Amino acid sequence: MSADVISPDRIRTRFSREMSNMYRHEVPQYGTLLQLVGEINAGVMAGLPADRTLDDTEQARLDVERHGAIRLGTPEELATMRDVFAVMGMFPVGYYDLSEAGVPVHSTAFRPVDETALARNPFRVFTSLLRLELIDDDQLRDQARRILAARDIFTPRLRELLAEWHQQGGLDDHQADEFVMEALETFRWHSHATVDRPTYERLHEAHRLIADVVCFRGPHINHLTPRTLDIDATQAAMPEHGITPKATIEGPPRRDCPILLRQTSFRALEETILFAGEEAGSHTARFGEIEQRGMALTPRGRELYDQLLSASKATTGGLSGEAHQQALAEAFSDFPDDETVLRREGLGYFRYSLTEQGQQRTGAETLPEDVEALIERGLIRATPIIYEDFLPVSAAGIFQSNLGDGGSGQYTQSANQAAFEEALGASVHDPFELYDAISQESLAACRRALSH
């Protein structure tokens, strides 16, 4: 490895900053949203009790924290994209099957995986791969395949830089700057469609999303999402800022102990496009979204969440706004809303650290084995680990709300993680394993320190 190679964390931070600047120009409402979320977050932070204030690292992370999404057309695009993200220290985590919800894609999220990298900049990109095999019409499927095979979504210079990265085991400062600019090209919006109007319309009719993936030169970034500390307040303030959010917040209800991820989105733009032959038309692809993140759940906690969410449909169906939140909260009344209970029942993941008393302890008396006993003795404390991933049911809701009416299809085929991983050229990380490792390692570090 060459000596002047820079950290992938720095490349990721540069890239997410440039992407944010680009998107602000492309979609002005995104700028409005950033401002609103910034104000709400400042208000929340000012009102936090002293033992809950965010430290500098957490605050710095929050200021830069974004997620985006792209939709790719071919296995080759996905495999190359994996390298592009690897340069920035982002790796595929989780498998999401959206076909169940009538969207002909499956997805993963590229994100940093280790704690230090997450703390520096947790930038994530929800990345979907179109499943052409779900198009019934043979002719249309072949046509889509041909159109996709003829495009290259990466610039020639980006491909060279990827080769240099492979050879050197990293990029130096200058290469990194070049890389960021070249990679940005792949995510840029192109108002020229690559096909004529009839082709666009046929693909659009098969599924709006198919037209969005197939008819353009690249996989334009379709949203960039800041993280709010109070999604209910942000959602309520959106209309005053000229933004109309979808009617319901996806995910778990508002709670004292936030879990997983709550999200809401809005349709941002109807874009003017030019078909091949210069005929003008319009296309909606880009939208806005906000998210609030809570505690990562263990498989047990997640099972309970999925079960309650699915049961909630019976009472929340058709409701919106506050009424929807009320009904959802009632449906979730069996989900403990107390950190100690969530921990003792093994529903959430926690990070352990020494208390002041733990740091001062002299190794005289024998230590209890049990975590709960260590906490009760005042030697260690547990804080929830933030959920860094996505939720398939919520993602489907986000897709749907932005596809507009008639956006959904019916697919008989379902999850195919093996095919996705084959296209990717790697297996995806299991998110539960990542959270568990962070939790276990923090506990082991506490035990080592205490037994000195």
CB 125 within 8 A of CB 389: no
Query: Among residues 170 and 258, whose Cβ is nearest to ligand OOG?
Result: 258
In the complex, least distance from residue 30 CB atom to Ni ion, rounded to whole angstroms = 13
3-state secondary structure of 448: helix
- DSSP assignment letter at 239: G
Residue type, 229: L
3-state secondary structure of 441: helix
CB 261 within 8 A of CB 251: yes
In the complex, least distance from residue 390 CB atom to ligand OOG, rounded to whole angstroms = 5
In the complex, least distance from residue 225 CB atom to Ni ion, rounded to whole angstroms = 5
222 binds, among Ni ion, ligand OOG, none (CB under 5 to 8 A by kind): ligand OOG
Cβ-in-10-Å burial (0-12, 13-18, 19+) of 25 comes to exposed
- The CA distances from residue 400 to 131, 186, 252, 338, in Å, are 17, 24, 18, 33
In the complex, least distance from residue 431 CB atom to ligand OOG, rounded to whole angstroms = 14
Compute the Cα dihedral for 239, 244, 247, 250 and give only its sign.
Answer: negative
In the complex, least distance from residue 112 CB atom to ligand OOG, rounded to whole angstroms = 17
105 strand-pairing partners: 130
395 binds, among ligand OOG, Ni ion, none (CB under 5 to 8 A by kind): ligand OOG
263 strand-pairing partners: 250, 291
Query: Among residues 400 and 439, whose Cβ is nearest to ligand OOG?
Result: 400
Query: Among residues 230 and 289, whose Cβ is nearest to Ni ion?
Result: 289
Map the footprint of Ni ion across residues 163-202, applying CB under 5 A. none
Tell me which residue has tokens 């079960």.
Answer: 307
Query: Among residues 85 and 126, whose Cβ is nearest to ligand OOG?
Result: 126
Query: Among residues 161 and 391, whose Cβ is nearest to Ni ion?
Result: 391
Residue type, 210: I
Integer-rounded Cα radius of gyration of the chain: 23
In the complex, least distance from residue 261 CB atom to ligand OOG, rounded to whole angstroms = 8
Tell me the per-residue interface mask from 206 to 225 with Ni ion, x by CB under 5 A, - otherwise: -------------------x
292 binds, among ligand OOG, Ni ion, none (CB under 5 to 8 A by kind): none
Map the footprint of Ni ion across residues 271-290, applying CB under 5 A. 289
Query: Among residues 20 and 128, whose Cβ is nearest to ligand OOG?
Result: 128
Query: Among residues 263 and 298, whose Cβ is nearest to Ni ion?
Result: 263
The DSSP line for 93-143 is EEEEE-GGGT-SEEEEEEE--SHHHHHH---EEEEEEE-GGG---HHHHHH
297 binds, among Ni ion, ligand OOG, none (CB under 5 to 8 A by kind): none
Tell me which residue has tokens 């809005």.
Answer: 266
96 binds, among ligand OOG, Ni ion, none (CB under 5 to 8 A by kind): none
107 strand-pairing partners: 96, 128
Helix (H) / strand (E) element for 311: namely: helix 299-316
352 strand-pairing partners: 382
In the complex, least distance from residue 108 CB atom to ligand OOG, rounded to whole angstroms = 11
Map the footprint of Ni ion across residues 222-241, applying CB under 5 A. 225
In the complex, least distance from residue 3 CB atom to Ni ion, rounded to whole angstroms = 38
Closest residue (Cβ) to Ni ion? 289
Closest residue (Cβ) to ligand OOG? 395
| Cα–Cα nearest to 274, from 219, 202, 360, 200 | 200
Q: Which residues of the chain form contacts with ligand OOG (CB under 6 A)?
A: 69, 71, 126, 128, 222, 263, 289, 390, 394-395, 398-399
Query: Among residues 199 and 225, whose Cβ is nearest to Ni ion?
Result: 225
Binding region for Ni ion (CB under 5 A): 225, 289
